[in-house]
Amino acid sequence: MGAKKSSPQPTLAELQQKIRAVGLRSTSPRVAVLRELETASAPLSHADLVDALCDEGFDRVTLYRNLTDLTEAGLVLRSDLGDHVWRFELRRAGKEHQGFHAHFTCTDCGTVACLPEGAIALTPVKGAPRALANRAVEVQLRGVCDRCD
């Protein structure tokens, strides 16, 4: 299920600069993937990106390889929200999307949403894994969304 657009599209030059800043070549598929993730309001699956970008001439394998490259370069976060489907989202410059933020998945319609910062607070305690202290964790909540309730 695709996510609605949340913000204005960045310029081509801005996208190319982001890609080059992490040591990757700026290619058409990478720019297209980054553009879609930049304007999405929720994490997108590979299938969502294929649906959005197939009319631009990019095949499934090309998009998957570029998602992998962008993830390994640190521009994109990859999450499995419990349904065995990888979802991808842009790693943001501010606090949001930096190693920890929670997702909500509706058990009725399957909609995935990023929860606002502060919706879930993690407090490191003695004996907890270091990942918790480093905030390198994934938190997912399940329930019925407002639309389905």
Query: Which amino acid makes up residue 42?
Result: A
* CATH code for the domain in which residue 46 is found: 1.10.10.10
Tell me whether residue 103 is annotated as binding.
Answer: no
Reported as a pLDDT band with limits 50, 70 and 90, residue 142 is confident
Q: What is the CA radius of gyration of the chain?
A: 16
pLDDT, tens digit (0-9, with 9 covering 90-100), for 47-94: 999 999 999 999 999 999 999 999 999 999 898 877 788 999 888 655
Residue 56 forms part of a structural domain: yes
Residue 100 forms part of a structural domain: yes
Tell me whether residue 84 is annotated as binding.
Answer: no
Tell me whether residue 101 is annotated as binding.
Answer: no
Residue 7 forms part of a structural domain: no
Reported as a pLDDT band with limits 50, 70 and 90, residue 113 is confident
Residue 93 forms part of a structural domain: yes
In 70-105, which positions are buried (b, 16+ CB within 10 angstroms) versus exposed (e)? beebebbbbbebeeeebbbbbbeeeeebeebbbbbb
Tell me whether residue 54 is annotated as binding.
Answer: no
Instruction: Give the range of the structural domain holding residue 88, as residue numbers without chain letter.
Output: 12-143
Count of residues in the chain:
149
- Can you say how many angstroms the Cα of residue 2 is from the centroid of all Cα atoms in its chain? 12
Residue 97 forms part of a structural domain: yes
The pTM of this model reads 0.71
